[in-house]
């Protein structure tokens, strides 16, 4: 009303500050933008993925899920900087990924990724020293810190041939996390393990994530593993890989296995992944 004094203007600074914080929180750490990937065989050029796009935010556990041959491992290698896209772009912290770097560390499924002549501690120290990230004393301290995180501090001075498959994978994870990468890349890291060890490794990975809150890009062809490990899942079609859908899976844990909601979601994912292409 006219007789009332004008209202005081709103305090803009706190509001703008909060908006900026929300904008920063919403900016993806990793962006895969319309990426197509190809590789050569003796006979022809094969398209592995076709115009795939997704974003990964800080502390996400983002899973690439699809059948064999859908290009999910090829995508992971492209994010690592090993394979350049033929179309589209991959960005980390807003900068184009053009080559491998210590801000992206890969854990593969093979057990022989650890040099056998080095002790467990030396294996974890090696990339820290080779990249000149730390001096020898600091590298040793960090190696022991992450070996403790994965429950292997007592095995620091043994060699890989003295370890089980699951223990070797724990060393590989400790070695990767010791580099403190922006994104940890895992290419079916538990696929070669027996069922009981695999379940234990999934649990330990999730416990480690709860403590460290690293950003994870994880490849698997197991629907159940995707639901347990991931908080977001990208569903890729059979060859060539295209984005079929993306789902949130943060509600599921290892305790969800066998539950009706878990089984129903797994069946729906299966139906989406393997639905027949529309007839031409």
Q: How far apart are CA 170 and CA 65, in angstroms?
A: 22
- Does one domain contain both 119 and 132? yes
**Pick from 153, 180, 207: which residue ends a domain?**
180
Could you tell me how far CA 145 lies from the centroid of its own chain?
Answer: 22
Quote the tokens at residue 178. Answer: 């010791």
Q: What mean pLDDT value characterizes the chain?
A: 87
Tell me the C-alpha distance between 45 and 180, whole Å: 36
The mean-pLDDT minimum among 6-20, 152-166, 180-194, 245-259 falls in 6-20
C-alpha pair distances (Å), 268 with each of 17, 194, 220, 237, 275:
41, 26, 17, 14, 10
Per-residue model confidence (pLDDT) at position 253: 84
Look at residues 152, 180, 208 and tell me which one is the last residue of a structural domain: 180
The answer as to whether 14 is a domain residue is no
Task: Let me know if residue 2 belongs to a domain.
Answer: no
Same-domain status, 172 and 200: no
> Do 70 and 198 fall into the same domain?
yes
How many CA atoms does the CB half-sphere of 66 hold within 13 Å?
25
- Separation CA 19–CA 32 (nearest Å): 25
pLDDT number for residue 276: 54
Top pLDDT among 61 and 251 is at 61
pLDDT at 192: 84
191 and 246 co-located in one domain? yes
Question: What is the model's pLDDT at position 278?
Answer: 39
One domain for residues 186 and 261: yes
Share of the chain residues as helix, strand and coil, in percent rounded to the nearest 5: 40, 20, 35
- Quick one: 88 and 145 in the same domain? no
Instruction: Report pLDDT digits (tens) over 171-181.
Output: 999 999 999 99
> Do 199 and 265 share a domain, yes or no?
yes
Res. 3: pLDDT tops 80: no
Q: Assess if residue 39 is contained within a domain.
A: yes
148 falls within a domain:
yes
Number of domains composing the chain: 2
Residue 139: helix, strand or coil by DSSP? helix
CATH number, domain of 244, equals: 3.40.50.300
CA distance 227 to 181: 24
Note whether residue 165 is domain-resident: yes
Residue at which a domain ends, from 132, 162, 180: 180
Whether residue 95 is found in the same domain as residue 122: no
How confident is the model over 68-78, as pLDDT tens digits? 888 999 999 99
Same domain, residue pair 96 and 132 = no
37 and 148 housed in the same domain: no
> Looking at the domain assignment, is residue 225 inside a domain?
yes
Quick one: CA dihedral 83, 89, 93, 95, positive or negative? positive
129 and 151 share one domain:
yes
Beta bridge partner(s), residue 65: 220, 235
Percent of the chain whose pLDDT exceeds 90: 65
Q: Is residue 117 domain-resident?
A: yes
Q: How many residues does the chain have?
A: 280
CA angle 217, 93, 114 (to 5 degrees): 45
Domain extent for 134: 113-180
pLDDT of the residue at 46: 86
- Residue 172 and residue 200 share a domain: no
At 181, list the tokens.
Answer: 């990468």
Determine, yes or no, domain membership for 17.
Answer: no
Question: Which residues lie below 8 Å from residue 98, measured CB to CB, with a gap of 6+?
Answer: 81, 84
């Amino acid at each position: 009303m006219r007789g009332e004094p004008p209202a005081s203007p709103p305090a803009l600074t706190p509001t703008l500050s909060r908006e900026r914080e929300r904008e920063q929180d919403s900016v993806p750490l990793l962006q895969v933008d319309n990426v197509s990937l190809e590789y050569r065989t003796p006979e022809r050029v094969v398209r592995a993925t076709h115009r795939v796009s997704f974003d990964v935010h800080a502390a996400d556990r983002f899973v690439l899920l699809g059948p064999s041959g859908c290009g999910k491992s090829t995508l992971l290698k492209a994010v690592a900087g090993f394979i350049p896209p033929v179309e589209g772009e991959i960005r980390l912290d807003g900068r184009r990924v053009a080559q491998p770097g210590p801000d992206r560390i890969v854990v593969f499924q093979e057990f022989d990724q650890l040099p056998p002549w080095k002790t467990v501690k030396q294996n974890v120290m090696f990339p820290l020293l080779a990249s000149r990230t730390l001096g020898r004393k600091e590298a040793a301290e960090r190696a022991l810190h992450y070996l403790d995180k994965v429950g292997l501090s007592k095995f620091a001075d043994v060699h890989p041939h003295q370890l089980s498959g699951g223990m070797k994978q724990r060393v590989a994870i400790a070695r990767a996390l010791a580099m403190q990468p922006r994104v940890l890349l895992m290419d079916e890291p538990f696929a070669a393990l027996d069922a009981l060890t695999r379940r234990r490794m999934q649990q330990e990975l999730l416990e480690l994530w709860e403590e460290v809150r690293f950003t994870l890009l994880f490849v698997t062809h197991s629907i159940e593993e995707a639901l347990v490990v991931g908080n977001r899942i990208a569903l890729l079609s059979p060859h060539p890989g295209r984005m079929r859908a993306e789902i949130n899976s943060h509600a599921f844990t290892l305790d969800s296995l066998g539950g009706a909601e878990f089984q129903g979601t797994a069946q729906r994912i299966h139906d989406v992944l393997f639905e027949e292409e529309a007839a031409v």
